Structure 1
Amino acid sequence: MQDKGLFTSPDVQREERKEHLTMVLLLTPALLMVAVLLLLPMFWLGLQSIQGEDGFSLANYTRIFTEAIYWDTFGTTLQISLIVTVLSILLGFPIAYAAARTSGLISSLILLCVILPFWTSVLVRSYAWLVLLQRRGVVNQTLIDLGIISRPLELVHNATGTVIGTLHVMLPFMVLPLYSVMKKIPNDLLLASDSLGAKPFYTFRRVFLPMAAPGVMAGSILVFVICLGFFITPELLGGGRTVLVSMLVQRNVELYHAWGAASAVGLVLLAVVFLIFWAVNKVIPIERVLGVR
């Protein structure tokens, strides 16, 4: 006697095919949007990057890996992105911790202060920092009045102003992932650690911090990757002296009309981002960082 459980009836097979077809039809608009808005532009950039005056050429990529200006630009971009990411962790972790461990009005006020900058244009915030940090700005004038410094500090049109303005824009992107992870940490685990005689710092280091690590990693990836392609704030506060990759792409297009060079720079930057994701995945699986089980 044959086991009927080993076979699937034609009606069941027909329903499964119908369900698969329905899923494909539902996914088709999203797949078309990805193809039109992402894959086709990348394909166009790839073609532009290998076109020379006489046809196929790798000259654009050769310049990136041989000329000092490209190495300096990529190095400056990575350095500023790393500095902003580290500062975002140092500043964002206490803010997220305070918001997650408190409740009611205090937690809501902390989150409101974090989200409030999103309601203001990045351009407006960058100009505001330009006014605050200039030689006769509020920051320098206050420091002089307090007797801390004798002459104005150079806080804009350099890497310092770029880091300060970029950090202000990126901080919410660190706080929100941290908060979402910290809020899910069971308080019972912390109470159990305390009841077993662990000191608060030991509980924080051995219980709370490891469970908050995915939030730190998620926020760090988000901040670092956005910083790699950030443009408005570095352009204004850097004053043209601190050149990042995004500014190099813009100058290749607007000043030299070199679409091939700009495309090559953009694709190399994209490769760097994929390399970062690959390296992070080796340390902590991306599924854990994204909270996917």
Structure 2
Amino acid sequence: MAISTAAANLPGDAHYLTELEQDARREKRQLFALCTPGLLLTMLLLFLPIGWLFWFSFIDADGNPTFEHYSRIWTEGAYVQIFVITFQISILVTVICVLLGYPVAYCLSQLPAKWSGLLLIGILLPFWTSLLVRTYAWLVLLQRRGIVNDTLIDLGIVQQPLPLMHNMTGTIIGMVHIMIPFLVLPLYASMKSIDGSYLRAAANLGASPTRAFWEIYLPLSLPGLLAGLVLTFILCLGFYITPAVLGGGRVQMIAQRIEASVHLYPTWGPASALGAVLLLLTTLILLASHLLLGRWRRRLG
């Protein structure tokens, strides 16, 4: 009653603003009430499996608490080596995707909407095909008597077939082909939002196209580039099919080791510990990228 009496004594504009604030708060409460069932379901589906994963990582075969699964990861060199290989491949694939994807996204952002839309269909087209099918297609292309080696021999570039599969080379080629759309799409969206008048103003002030790109365009596109980097890198950490097929068992990433641990040990404890460590590392990467992106936005803004 006191609040309504005070609001009634306010001037006309202030009373109108008070009503707007009350309506805004009422609308927020209604939206929150409508979203609550979906949020609860999402939290249940998200945190229940994660809690189950961490629980099994601390339980031995007899159901007793143990840290053996985690200690095995750090004491056995094979596990450490698998993590190192996983991060090496993920970093290499991400760097190659940036080198190939940034020019593509830049060209798409500069083209008219009609042509950029058609070319975007070509980038999205691989999503309509199964990941397994695309991986086996590379297996056919990269084999010793495949199209790639036959073409190189026919052109006289090489004399003997190159070892392009069942090694890290084939794994990286297949992963780059699969991951490059995940970098191009957020980068393209970021580039389309850049106002072209900035570059024209820089040109009017005497900046060369190269200098305008490095000092204006590239910094403005960095939020999209960082988002694509993080998305590509994190997805690479959990790759399974492509390393298993194109690596031929010689290139083992952490997802393959998790699958092997499920079959090797009588409990899911070792596999759960590997998954928990990978999840923790991924979370730290996401937090670091979020901090970097926030700092960069404050810098630009």
Correspondence for 1:95: 104
Q: Supply the distance in 2 between the matched residues of 1:44 and 1:286 (Cα, whole angstroms).
A: 35
The runs of 4+ residues in structure 1 deviating greater than 6 Å are 6-9, 12-18
Q: Deviation per CA, 1:10-44, whole angstroms, max 9, x where unpaired?
A: xx899888656534432222222223321011111
Correspondence for 2:59: 51
2:252 aligned counterpart, secondary structure: coil
Q: Supply the distance in 2 between the matched residues of 1:124 and 1:213 (Cα, whole angstroms).
A: 33
- Among 45, 48, 61, the alignment partner of 1:37 is 45
The answer as to 2:253 corresponding to 1:244 is yes
Q: Supply the distance in 1 between the matched residues of 2:26 and 2:32 (Cα, whole angstroms).
A: 10
Q: Is the 8 A contact 2:183 2:232 kept in 1?
A: yes
Q: Supply the distance in 2 between the matched residues of 1:257 and 1:187 (Cα, whole angstroms).
A: 61
Q: Supply the distance in 1 between the matched residues of 2:9 and 2:52 (Cα, whole angstroms).
A: 49
Query: 75-84 or 30-39, which moves further after superposition?
Result: 30-39
Matched pairs, number: 288
Q: Supply the distance in 2 between the matched residues of 1:149 and 1:4 (Cα, whole angstroms).
A: 87
Give, in angstroms, the shift of residue 258 of structure 1.
3.6
Alignment TM-score, normalising by the size of structure 1: 0.90
Q: Supply the distance in 2 between the matched residues of 1:111 and 1:144 (Cα, whole angstroms).
A: 33
Correspondence for 2:33: 25
Q: Deviation per CA, 1:258-291, whole angstroms, max 9, x where unpaired?
A: 41111100010011011112322343328959xx
Q: Supply the distance in 1 between the matched residues of 2:9 and 2:149 (Cα, whole angstroms).
A: 80
Question: Which letter maps to 1:264?
Answer: A
Unaligned runs of 5+ in 2: none
Give, in angstroms, the shift of residue 111 of structure 1.
1.1
- Among 145, 162, 185, the alignment partner of 2:171 is 162
Correspondence for 2:155: 146
Give, in angstroms, the shift of residue 147 of structure 1.
1.0
The answer as to 2:178 corresponding to 1:176 is no
Correspondence for 1:4: 6
Question: Which letter maps to 1:138?
Answer: I
Q: Residues 249 and 286 of structure 1: is their aligned pair in 2 closer, same or farther, counting only changes over 3 Å?
A: farther
Unaligned runs of 5+ in 1: none
Question: Which letter maps to 2:178?
Answer: V
Q: Is the 8 A contact 1:95 1:110 kept in 2?
A: no
Question: Which letter maps to 2:199?
Answer: L
Give, in angstroms, the shift of residue 105 of structure 1.
3.5
Question: Which letter maps to 1:211?
Answer: L
Give, in angstroms, the shift of residue 233 of structure 1.
1.1
Correspondence for 1:191: 200
Q: Is the 8 A contact 1:280 1:286 kept in 2?
A: no
